[in-house]
Amino acid sequence: MTVIEELNKPRTSASPLKCCTGEEGSLSSDFPTEEILKESAGKNFDSLAGAKRLYSFPKKLAVDVKFEDVTFDSWEWNFRKFKRENKRILHGVSGEFQSGELSVIMGPSGAGKSTLLNILAGFITRGSGGTVMLNGEVRDQSPRYRKLSAYIPQDEELRLALTAKEAMTFAANLKLGYGVTGEYKQQQVIEILDLLGLGECHHTLTSRLSGGQRKRLAVALELLSNPPILFLDEPTTGLDSSSCTQCISLFKRLAQEGRTVVCTIHQPSALLFEMFDKLYAVSSGKCIYNGTISGLVPHLETLNLKCPPYHNPADFLMEVAIGEHGTDVNTLSTAAAANSLSIEYSKGEKIRKYPTPIEKSSSHSSSAAIIMQFLLLYKRNLLTTKRNYMYLVNRLIAHIVIGLIFGYLYKDVGSTAHTILANYVYLYGSLLLIVYTGKMSVTLSFPLEMRILTREHFNRWYKLTPYLLSVILIEIPFQVICTWSYVMISYWLTGQPMDFRLYLFLLFCTLLTLCAQSMGYFIGATTPIKIAVFVGPVIACFFSVFGFCLRYIDTPAIFKWLFKISYYRAGFQSVVFSIYGLSRKNLICPEDMVYCHYQDPSKFLKEMDITNVDLVSNISLIVLIWCLMHAATYLTLWLKLNKR
């Protein structure tokens, strides 16, 4: 059976257990004893029965990670010299992380340890060089290799509005697909939560979990697909000593099941340091040690670097790495390479036989799977929106209150001739309001979720298409409700004609706010937060100039093309034409007025250069821009997710 077939094999509670070195149904001799399980797991693993749930995972084929001559270059723009300057972060490092081992990458700040981990995980590809191999095969970014590993970043980036069980349930449905029964998924959710000491947190919101619990929940979400390789970036950051011990103990036991677990840690305590099997130390982008934990101190002694008694070897290594003991990084790198070769020779690693090669598998990304992902993501967004209902209530109340204020300020201006200019301003202000609210309410949607989206998409939870549709279709109904609430109140209070013109007014207001919403998504996806909240209103005001402040005949030649592509101009002129055009009868004039200039509304349209307006063409323009903005948003997100 190939690795891919083994990965796709359904996990059932009846599957035989195959541990690292033992036979089916038996535990290998190096598994933790009952006393170790109780001591390392703390109160969350009080009973041995609870800890034994660890062994409910079926054994997967071992996958070793080997890398050769890995380099990474970054660049920054030098404004003084007006040129781009390259900086090499990794200088051709090589090594191997084997299954069944808990490996750690250590080094001082800026040494390149997180960069190396990201390259090995495939999270960063641009600017990197060298070769990464899985079971002796060169790895690329194809799905057949990506499904072998899971990447957990330093910041958990969890959805805080969901409970632990809800987050796990959605992840199980997304990762395991529709080919597995719901009962089996729920069983896996409960077992994994109990396994990681989260049995009492099923109904606790993620926002209320402790730091250690969030770390374990982030691991639990990825364990649902039972990947043979786990990459963790700084998993102990922000945790107290007890939580750190629990997390590292968990990673140790996961590795003992046969997984390849690789993590980065800046400076662990002596207790945590001894729990690792393999150490890969880097400094200034070069490897300064590659071997076992127990072999670190003897290796340093060969370089006349003696670790003081009762001194944490990890701290001493960091002192050596930053040059406090007078040893050059190049000397450490040369000694590390020689030490690695001697270890490989003594263990016979040059003739090491890898497990079954990874073979190509067929793709199962059918339309049914995409529809299922969309429904699950839409349901998750609905639940999150329900929990944060006050935000939506405030938006709705704001539209209603502003509708009442505008209706009071411009009361009955839509029915008389002498108030036609005031009504003109009301129409402009109404469209500007719904453009602002439609655009700015979603501008921060993607910036605030980008890290979560990056992790979930990279770990193959779902495709980008169903995710984007679920986000857009959540916002559209509510924005339409808010817009209609404002329009119905203000339209009635301002005395507009109650005939077919009402429906045209609603139509163009709805199209305009949805078009502005699509532009808000695009601005948020392409610009940083501080720029997005500034650019959004500026663009809205800029496009509103055309059609209201400027007539086409008064527009300078260099800006006439903007007049034609302005979605705001198309909506505004269509609204004004719908209200005063289409063969509208003469307006009411006060009896005491001697001369009523705009009694015939066509005269007003002529002066405003809003004649012969093609409503269908304007609708087409707004819909076209709406489609283009969503397509551009999709392309932007795709580039961010796939072109790292």
Question: Which of 231, 253, 23, 215 has the alpha carbon at shortest distance from 115?
Answer: 231
pLDDT(141) > 90 = no
What mean pLDDT is predicted for residues 487-512?
A: 95
Query: Could you tell me the pLDDT band of residue 15, with boundaries at 50, 70 and 90?
Result: very low
CATH of the domain at 255: 3.40.50.300
Question: Which of 151, 108, 19 has the alpha carbon at shortest distance from 457?
Answer: 151
pLDDT in tens, 48-104: 334 444 444 555 678 999 999 999 988 776 666 667 778 889 999 999 999 999 999
Q: Do residues 73 and 16 both lie within one domain?
A: no
What mean pLDDT is predicted for residues 17-23?
A: 33
Final residue in a domain of this structure, among 288, 322, 350: 350
What mean pLDDT is predicted for residues 549-570?
A: 85
Confirm whether 190 is domain-assigned: no
**What does the mean pLDDT of the chain come to?**
84
DSSP for residue 271: H
Confirm whether 169 is domain-assigned: no
Q: Do residues 52 and 115 both lie within one domain?
A: no
pLDDT in tens, 575-588: 999 999 998 999 98
Confirm whether 355 is domain-assigned: no
Q: Do residues 310 and 397 both lie within one domain?
A: no
pLDDT in tens, 375-415: 999 999 999 999 999 999 999 999 999 999 999 999 999 98
For residue 334, the model assigns a pLDDT of 87
Final residue in a domain of this structure, among 319, 350, 381: 350
Q: Do residues 290 and 233 both lie within one domain?
A: yes
Q: Do residues 257 and 399 both lie within one domain?
A: no
Q: Do residues 41 and 104 both lie within one domain?
A: no
Confirm whether 320 is domain-assigned: yes
Q: Do residues 587 and 545 both lie within one domain?
A: yes
DSSP for 59-79 reads P-----EEEEEEEEEEEEEET
For residue 351, the model assigns a pLDDT of 46
**3-state SS assignment for residue 205:** strand
Confirm whether 523 is domain-assigned: yes
Q: Do residues 130 and 105 both lie within one domain?
A: yes
Q: Do residues 385 and 494 both lie within one domain?
A: yes
For residue 545, the model assigns a pLDDT of 84
For residue 204, the model assigns a pLDDT of 93
Q: Do residues 380 and 500 both lie within one domain?
A: yes
Query: Could you tell me the pLDDT band of residue 30, with boundaries at 50, 70 and 90?
Result: very low
pLDDT in tens, 218-242: 989 998 888 999 999 988 887 888 8
Residue 31 belongs to what domain range?
A: 3-56
For residue 16, the model assigns a pLDDT of 32
Q: Cα dist. 302→256, 278, 307, 331, 506 in Å?
A: 31, 19, 11, 12, 81
Query: Could you tell me the pLDDT band of residue 345, with boundaries at 50, 70 and 90?
Result: low
Final residue in a domain of this structure, among 36, 56, 76: 56
Q: Do residues 15 and 133 both lie within one domain?
A: no
Confirm whether 168 is domain-assigned: no
Q: Do residues 377 and 441 both lie within one domain?
A: yes
pLDDT in tens, 238-297: 788 888 888 898 899 889 888 999 999 988 888 899 999 999 999 989 999 999 999 999
Confirm whether 202 is domain-assigned: no
Total domains in the fold of the chain: 3
Task: With beta carbons less than 8 A apart as the criterion, state whether 322 and 108 touch.
Answer: yes
Confirm whether 248 is domain-assigned: yes
Q: Which two structure tokens, joined as six digits, stand for 353? A: 């036989």
